[in-house]
Each structure stands twice: as structure tokens, then as C-alpha cells.
Homo-oligomer: A and B are copies of this chain.
Amino acid sequence: MPEIVPYGDTLGDGMVQLSFTLPAPADARARELGLQFLRNTGFLEPQIVHIGAADRDMTFYVAYARAPRGVDPAEITASEVEAPELSFSQINALIERELGRRMVVIGAAIESDAHTVGIDAIMNMKGFAGDYGLERYPWIEAVNLGAQVPCERLVREAQERRADAILVSQVVTQKQVHARQLTKLVDLLEAEQLRDRYLLVCGGPRLSNTFAKELGYDAGFGPGSRPSHVAAWMARELVARTTAARQGDG
């Protein structure tokens, strides 16, 4: 399959919009500096359409340019979490039928992160955008530990409550703090040989499924995730694992 390139107003024009600030004065050479930067980055036919002084030695640019190359859709394998579109009752039915017991889910915003609105949107009764939260599911036992929960405590609680899944929210990403904190949890679980015991799921506005997997999670949910989507994925995955396990035994 051939590469596709960005579309401005004609197929194949490759147009991209950029804005950036260079630490240099907005003087007579500013335009050329900006153009050269774009050329160095590989862009074709760069146009600087706006130059403004962001400070004494700082110049803000708005630019348009043609991308040097595109992307081949065939290359792309990774994707967002794909889960069956199951309804509230279908999900409960699935758990009841296949698991025969309530699925235990424990969640928290870990370490320094105090943003609970996201995890609450997934776990609390109210839910998100009209989609009920996990607490509402009769066949899910949902425990939301809230904000700034140390990894150690989260792991302890997970063991005590014999959780099936651990849900972690990370919203603050500055200086990759989320990556560090998410990794800390994985390391902790592996150190205690607990990793395989749980569906390990994370989410947040700057997280993607691919990134989550790189960090050693089973799934990652990004902005606008819906509780039912998360629940459907967990239920199906858990069922799959347990049946696999059973077959292993028998």
C-alpha cells in the first residue's frame, strides 16, 4: 500500500501547519532563520506566515510547509484498545455466565497525581457522558482509592481484596513523571511476583494503548474513554484468561 501524505486542499499536497518559538531575536534575519530551521527538519517549500516577538530574544513563528514524506497505513498494526461493543447488561451477563462471581476491580490515581476526575468517571456510579461507571455494575465490585495513592498501598489493597484488575490513572505527565510512576508500579508487582495475577490497566488524557503496553501494562485508555468500553475489555480478557487457565489445569 502506498504512503498517504497530509491533505491541505488537494490530494497529495502534503501541507502541514506548524508553530514554534526559536530562542533568537525577532530581527531582519528571523524569517530566514525560521525557514532554515524548517528546511533542516526536512520540510519542503516552507512558508513563514507569522513572526512575533515572544520576548527579547525569543521569536514565535507560524508556518506552513509540505511534509517530506507520508506514512503507509499498512505499517500500522498497533491500535487503541479494541473491545466488543457490549451493553451494561451484556457485560454483567458475560461475567455472571463465564466467571460465576463478581469481578473485583481496584483503582487509584497513584503517587503524586491528585487528578481523580478521570478515574472517578470510569469507576464511580455517575460514570462519564451518560455511560454508567463500574460501581453501577452488579457483577463488578469496584473499589476506588482516590488520589495520590502510593504504589505500595495500591498493591497491598489489591492483594487484600483479591482483585482481578488494577486500574491506574495518570494525568500529570510533565517531565515524564507519569512514565516513572507507572513503571514503579510494574516493578513493584514484578518484584513481588504478582504481575500475572492482575489485569493491569492504566489511563489518562496523555496515555495510549501502545504506550501502556511498552510500560508493561495489559491495556491503556486515552482521552474520552467510556466505562462500558473499559468494562467490556476487562470482562472479555479476564474470561479468556481464566478459561485458558482452566484448560491448563484440566
Q: Is the CB of B71 within 8 A of A40?
A: yes
- Whether A79 is near chain B, meaning CB under 8 Å from some CB there, is yes
Q: Is the CB of A6 within 8 A of B33?
A: no
Q: Is the CB of A17 within 8 A of B15?
A: no
Nearest CB of chain B from residue A211's CB, rounded to whole Å: 10
A-B contact sample (19 more), CB < 8 A, given A16-B19, A32-B77, A32-B210: A6-B21, A6-B37, A7-B22, A7-B23, A16-B18, A17-B18, A17-B20, A20-B67, A22-B70, A28-B79, A28-B80, A28-B82, A29-B73, A31-B208, A32-B78, A33-B73, A33-B76, A36-B75, A37-B67
Interface string of A147-190 (1 = CB under 8 A from B): 00000000000000000000000000000000000000000000
Q: Is the CB of B71 within 8 A of A33?
A: yes
- Whether A4 is near chain B, meaning CB under 8 Å from some CB there, is yes
Q: Could you say which interface size class chain A belongs to? A: 35 or more
State which residues 39-77 of A face B: CB under 8 Å. Answer: 40-42, 47, 49, 58, 67-71, 73, 75-77
Q: Is the CB of B41 within 8 A of A24?
A: no
A23 to B47 Cα, complex, angstroms: 22
- By a CB distance below 8 angstroms, the chain B residues around A17 are 18-20
- By a CB distance below 8 angstroms, the chain B residues around A8 are 21
A33 to B79 Cα, complex, angstroms: 9
- Whether A241 is near chain B, meaning CB under 8 Å from some CB there, is no
Total copies of the chain = 2
Q: Is the CB of A22 within 8 A of B79?
A: no
- Whether A129 is near chain B, meaning CB under 8 Å from some CB there, is no
- Whether A206 is near chain B, meaning CB under 8 Å from some CB there, is yes
- Whether A146 is near chain B, meaning CB under 8 Å from some CB there, is no
A-B contact pairs, 15 of them (CB 8 A): A4-B23, A7-B22, A7-B23, A16-B19, A20-B67, A22-B70, A24-B73, A29-B78, A31-B222, A32-B77, A33-B76, A36-B76, A41-B67, A41-B68, A41-B69
- Whether A11 is near chain B, meaning CB under 8 Å from some CB there, is yes
- By a CB distance below 8 angstroms, the chain B residues around A222 are 31
Closest to A210 in B: B32
6 nearest A-B residue pairs (beta carbon): A37-B71, A6-B20, A28-B79, A28-B80, A16-B20, A29-B79
Of residues A15, A41, A47, which shows the largest number of chain B Cβ atoms within 10 Å of its Cβ? A41
